[in-house]
Amino acid sequence: MTTLQLEDLGTETLEEGRYVNLIVRRTAGKLYSMTLELTEEGREVIEYVNSREWVSDTKLAELLEDHITGGWWEFIAPEEVGALTDAPILAKSDNVHRTKTGRLWKVTTLFWYPDYALRCPVDVLARVGRVTFVAAE
């Protein structure tokens, strides 16, 4: 993980992955956004992943596999936080608190994709090489 101080813009943290790098931006001490950016290897597999007859969240999970299986990030089901959306929601694992039975008890920061009803985030990744999720606290 690399953190850069950006003059007048806050900080940017890079978490490198196999297919996708995660870039978390913070301004004025608050989280602002997380950008998923394809790596070289990600550019090689994006067409294959996108051609699969999987739902959007499954495609996204495939590209984020190392971030999720490594225990650093996890998907949050919208109903777990009372969100009236079907948007994909991600949270840093150390911000997620669950009971012993796995029920979500508390989560401090989420990143969600507000354009989910208009375009698939994996389609955007395939087309432009990056897609941005917005922070919600």
**pLDDT per residue of the chain (137 residues) written in tens, 0 to 9:** 544 444 445 688 999 999 999 999 887 667 689 999 999 999 999 999 999 999 999 999 999 999 999 889 999 988 888 888 889 999 988 888 888 998 888 888 899 999 999 999 999 999 999 999 999 86
The dihedral formed by the CA atoms of 39, 41, 44 and 48, expressed in degrees to the nearest 10: -100
Q: Which residues contact 55 (CB under 8 A, 6 or more apart)?
A: none
The residue range of the domain holding 109 is 10-136
- Output the pLDDT for position 29: 66
Is 96 among the domain residues?
yes
How many structural domains does the chain have? 1
Identify whether 55 is part of a domain: yes
Would 131 be classed as within a structural domain?
yes
Decide: helix, strand or coil at residue 77.
Answer: coil
In degrees and rounded to multiples of 5, residue 33 shows phi and psi of -160, 165
pLDDT of residue 45: 96
Count of CB atoms situated within 10 Å of the CB of 31: 21
pTM of the predicted structure, to 2 decimals:
0.84
Q: Does 5 fall in a domain?
A: no
- Look at residue 68 in the predicted model and tell me its pLDDT: 93
